């Protein structure tokens, strides 16, 4: 059985009766058990997956109504709540937390008869770009297990790439869907802020994060976006734009589209092989009829400092609630004074979360708020305004997703600033709220390179059409694992 | 220039004990030095947009009972109370 089929192929095969849900789910769970030892995509698995598959087969046989996913195996990042399953955020502080409710995105998938395979690994509380900061140990890149899979939704990207599910949900605060999608040669979308509900996504930086799909193809990504997007009364930052079918007219092409190549994201600091792949991708876009020219976005050079100032401040506030009293790890309250207990318990946050919380306490503090936090908010407004201006001249913007190839596990772990600087090509989309997608483009020295397209707010349809056009110009090998 | 004791003070405010964490202080100092790049940014205006939610957009302030067994998911409780460390 080919577990590497796309969502579209899966649906066709289940519909025409050449595949049962039970056999596909059983093989998927078998595959997970076989490869997990070497790649560690999952933190926990759904023990009821096969019995849920049987139920869907039964409904299909009885010609009862079945949701549009037809039992498709989908994994969920472990910072998104799924009722009755552990939701740990890859942190010791939540290692025993069982979510009492479904996130809206999870209930949307369940209502369409998706089967949740399990909860995937991430950098603790989604803070990182390598999945090395998980309390449960790093995930590994299926293309070469000595290398990082990217992050923070590393487990989600690995699970799709290594054929342990058909699609996954991640969250993207500064590139956390697109970065691992690029490093693992899969598609990853960060939707417009407000297009997808954040209810049930454990908060890190509320004003910038979004849940986004990771899948094998742009068409599969559009299919998942159809299911998870839309207004939600539980998240009042969601925007009511009516329902759009993102899978429709995907073949529209990019003839005549004006594409701006962001100068600050293709020059200094970009690896030679990434630069070469970028040039080739631009030529392909031109050959498809797009009009490409460079655009300078001056504020990009301040975006890393802006992003980390705002994200750390929001993280400091969001993570203040974790005191290990209501849930958490086993540590008795007896014999401790209230504050002493909390300080001792909070020592169990991992290194990256601790660093960001300290930053998050410092940058908005009295005496420094004007220098850091308020300045960052002003620069964020400037970035938004530059992006608005850019979309008056262009339909889409373009850059490589990450300026470098995947790096070795442990290579950068002691230099947090060098890791932060690798976010430079992705965070602009989060700071301005616009959608962006990473498309697998090349394999260099056995390691994946992804290309990124950005569109104006709520222009996911245009974005997916362009991504689909670029995707069709590639012919990439299958994952070696 | 940021003083080390200011970083330690900020950590204490969010209940993180930094007594033995020299490495964290050094790393945070280095990151804050990088953030100084913001001094060079010249925002077009002194204003910025923050997310505001008009009152009429908030959902109704209605009591919605949750599953009463919810408390059993807490790790340390007695009847309907959460057990916490003593305050003094």
- pLDDT tens-place string over residues A137-162: 999 999 999 999 999 999 999 999 99
Residue with the bigger pLDDT between B83 and A229: it is: A229
Contacts of B81 in chain A (CB under 8 A): none
Mean of the pLDDT values across residues A92-107? 95
What count of residues does chain B have? 88
Residue B57 Cα, gap to closest chain A Cα (Å): 7
Sign of CA dihedral A213, A217, A222, A224: negative
Contacts of A420 in chain B (CB under 8 A): 31, 34
Q: Tell me: the pLDDT tens digits for A316-355? A: 999 999 999 988 888 988 899 998 999 999 999 999 999 9
Contact at CB, B85 and A236, closer than 8 angstroms: no
Contacts of B16 in chain A (CB under 8 A): 343, 346-347, 349, 354, 357-358
Contacts of A358 in chain B (CB under 8 A): 7, 10-11, 14, 16, 18, 24, 28
Mean of the pLDDT values across residues A168-177? 98
Contact at CB, A333 and B83, closer than 8 angstroms: yes
In this predicted complex, what is the ipTM?
0.90
For residue B77, what is the enclosing H or E element?
strand B77-78
The confidence score (pLDDT) of residue B20 equals 66
Residues 394-433 of A with CB under 8 A from B: 416-417, 420
Any CB–CB contact under 8 A between A369 and chain B? no
> pTM for this one?
0.96
Q: Which value, to the nearest 10 degrees, does the dihedral of the CA atoms of residues A85, A91, A97, A99 take?
A: -50
Cβ-Cβ contacts under 8 Å for A254 (sequence gap 6 or more): A285, A288, A289, A290, A396, A465, A466, A469, A470
Nearest neighbour of B14 by CB, restricted to A299, A320, A341: A320
Query: Which of the following is catalytic: A152, A161, A299, A303?
Result: A152
- Show me where the domains of chain B are located: 4-39
Residue with the bigger pLDDT between A327 and A18: it is: A18
Cα A19 to chain center, whole Å? 29
Contact at CB, B48 and A330, closer than 8 angstroms: no
A278 neighbors A376 (Cβ within 8 angstroms): no
The confidence score (pLDDT) of residue A308 equals 97
Rg over alpha carbons for chain B, rounded to the nearest Å, is 22
**Is A293 part of the annotated catalytic residue set?**
no
User: Over 90: is that where the pLDDT of A467 sits?
Assistant: yes
* Residue B67 DSSP label: P
**Is A176 part of the annotated catalytic residue set?**
yes
Give the pLDDT band of residue B44 (cuts 50, 70, 90): low
Contacts of A316 in chain B (CB under 8 A): 14
Q: Tell me: the pLDDT tens digits for A192-245? A: 999 999 999 999 999 999 999 999 999 999 999 999 999 999 998 999 888 899
**Is A159 part of the annotated catalytic residue set?**
no
**Measured between alpha carbons, how far is A262 from A55 in angstroms, rounded to an integer?**
50
What token pair was written down for B13? 């405010």
Contacts of B51 in chain A (CB under 8 A): 207, 237
**Measured between alpha carbons, how far is A63 from A57 in angstroms, rounded to an integer?**
10
The confidence score (pLDDT) of residue B57 equals 76
Give the pLDDT band of residue B46 (cuts 50, 70, 90): low
Chain B residue closest in CA terms to A341: B85
Contact at CB, A375 and B38, closer than 8 angstroms: yes
How are beta strands A396-400 and A447-455 bridged, if at all? antiparallel
User: Over 70: is that where the pLDDT of A267 sits?
Assistant: yes
Residue B2 Cα, gap to closest chain A Cα (Å): 9
The confidence score (pLDDT) of residue B1 equals 67
Residue with the bigger pLDDT between B14 and A264: it is: A264
Percent of chain A exceeding pLDDT 90 equals 94
What average pLDDT does the structure give for chain B? Answer: 82
What token pair was written down for A205? 């930086």
The confidence score (pLDDT) of residue B49 equals 73
Percent of chain A exceeding pLDDT 70 equals 100
Query: Which of the following is catalytic: A75, A77, A159, A161?
Result: A77
Rounded to a whole number, what is the largest CA-CA distance in chain B? 58
Contact at CB, A417 and B70, closer than 8 angstroms: no
Mean of the pLDDT values across residues B65-87? 84
Residue B10 Cα, gap to closest chain A Cα (Å): 5
The confidence score (pLDDT) of residue A154 equals 98
Nearest neighbour of B37 by CB, restricted to A98, A305, A351: A305
Contact at CB, A382 and B10, closer than 8 angstroms: no
Burial class of A404 by CB neighbour count within 10 A (0 to 12, 13 to 18, 19+): middle
The confidence score (pLDDT) of residue A94 equals 94
A100 neighbors B73 (Cβ within 8 angstroms): yes
Burial class of A463 by CB neighbour count within 10 A (0 to 12, 13 to 18, 19+): buried
**Measured between alpha carbons, how far is A248 from A176 in angstroms, rounded to an integer?**
27
Q: Which domains, from first to last, does chain A contain?
A: 1-481 (3.90.1300.10)
Q: Tell me: the pLDDT tens digits for A297-321? A: 999 999 999 999 999 999 999 999 9
**HEC sequence for A142-172:** CCECCECCCCCCHHHHHHHHCCCCCEEEEEE
**Measured between alpha carbons, how far is B12 from B23 in angstroms, rounded to an integer?**
16
**Measured between alpha carbons, how far is B27 from A414 in angstroms, rounded to an integer?**
9
Chain B residue closest in CA terms to A98: B73
What average pLDDT does the structure give for chain A? Answer: 96
Contact at CB, B10 and A365, closer than 8 angstroms: yes
Residue B50 Cα, gap to closest chain A Cα (Å): 8
What token pair was written down for A359? 């930053």
Query: Which of the following is catalytic: A176, A182, A185, A303?
Result: A176
List, in sequence order, every residue forming a beta bridge with A42; answer none if it has no partner.
A120
Q: Which value, to the nearest 10 degrees, does the dihedral of the CA atoms of residues A402, A408, A411, A413 take?
A: 70
Contact at CB, B38 and A346, closer than 8 angstroms: no
The confidence score (pLDDT) of residue A56 equals 98
């Amino acid at each position: 059985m080919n577990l590497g089929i796309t969502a579209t192929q899966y649906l066709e095969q289940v519909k025409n009766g050449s595949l049962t849900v039970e056999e596909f789910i059983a093989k998927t769970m078998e595959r997970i058990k076989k490869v997990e030892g070497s790649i560690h995509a999952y933190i926990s698995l759904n023990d009821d997956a096969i019995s849920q598959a049987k139920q869907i087969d039964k409904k299909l046989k009885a010609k009862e109504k079945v949701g549009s996913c037809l039992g498709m195996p989908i994994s969920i990042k472990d910072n998104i709540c799924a009722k009755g399953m552990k939701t740990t955020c890859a942190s010791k502080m939540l290692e025993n937390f069982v979510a009492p409710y479904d996130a809206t995105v999870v209930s949307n998938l369940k209502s369409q008869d998706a089967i949740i395979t399990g909860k995937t690994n991430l950098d603790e509380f989604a803070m990182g770009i390598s999945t090395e900061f998980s309390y449960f140990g790093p995930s590994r890149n299926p293309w070469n297990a000595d290398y990082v899979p990217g992050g923070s939704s590393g487990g989600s990207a690995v699970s799709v790439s290594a054929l342990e599910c058909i699609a996954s949900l991640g969250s993207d605060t500064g590139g956390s869907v697109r970065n691992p999608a690029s490093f693992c040669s899969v598609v990853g979308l960060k939707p417009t802020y407000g297009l997808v509900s954040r209810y049930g996504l454990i908060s890190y930086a509320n004003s910038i994060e979004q849940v986004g799909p990771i899948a094998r193809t742009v068409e599969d990504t559009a299919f998942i976006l159809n299911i998870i997007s839309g207004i939600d009364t539980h998240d009042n930052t969601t925007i009511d734009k009516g329902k759009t079918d993102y899978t429709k007219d995907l073949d529209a092409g990019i003839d005549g589209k004006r594409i701006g190549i962001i100068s600050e994201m293709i020059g200094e600091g970009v690896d030679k092989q990434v630069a070469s792949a970028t040039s080739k991708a631009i030529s392909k876009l031109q050959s498809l009829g797009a009009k490409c020219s460079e655009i300078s976005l001056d504020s990009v050079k301040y975006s890393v400092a802006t992003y980390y100032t705002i994200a750390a401040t929001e993280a400091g506030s969001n993570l203040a609630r974790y005191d290990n009293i209501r849930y958490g790890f086993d540590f008795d309250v007896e014999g401790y004074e209230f504050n002493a207990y909390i300080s001792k318990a909070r020592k169990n946050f991992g290194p990256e979360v601790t660093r960001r919380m300290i930053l998050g306490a410092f940058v908005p503090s009295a005496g420094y708020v004007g220098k850091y936090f308020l300045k960052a908010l002003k620069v964020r407004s400037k970035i938004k305004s530059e992006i608005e201006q850019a979309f008056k001249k262009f339909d889409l913007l373009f850059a490589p997703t990450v300026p470098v190839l995947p790096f070795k596990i442990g290579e950068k772990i002691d230099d947090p600033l060098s890791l932060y600087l690798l976010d430079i090509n992705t965070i602009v989309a989060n700071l301005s709220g616009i959608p962006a997608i990473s498309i697998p483009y090349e394999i260099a020295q056995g390691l994946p390179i992804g290309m990124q397209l950005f569109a104006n707010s709520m222009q996911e349809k245009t974005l997916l059409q362009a991504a689909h056009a670029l995707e069709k110009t590639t012919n990439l090998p299958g994952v070696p694992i | 220039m940021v003083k080390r004791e200011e970083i330690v003070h900020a950590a204490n405010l969010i209940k993180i004990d930094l007594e033995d964490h020299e490495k964290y202080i050094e790393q945070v100092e280095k990151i804050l030095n990088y953030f100084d790049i913001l001094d060079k940014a010249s925002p077009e205006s002194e204003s910025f947009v923050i997310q505001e939610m008009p009152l009429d957009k908030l959902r109704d302030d209605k009591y919605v009972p949750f599953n009463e067994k919810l408390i059993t998911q807490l790790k340390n409780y007695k009847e309907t109370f959460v057990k916490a460390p003593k305050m003094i």
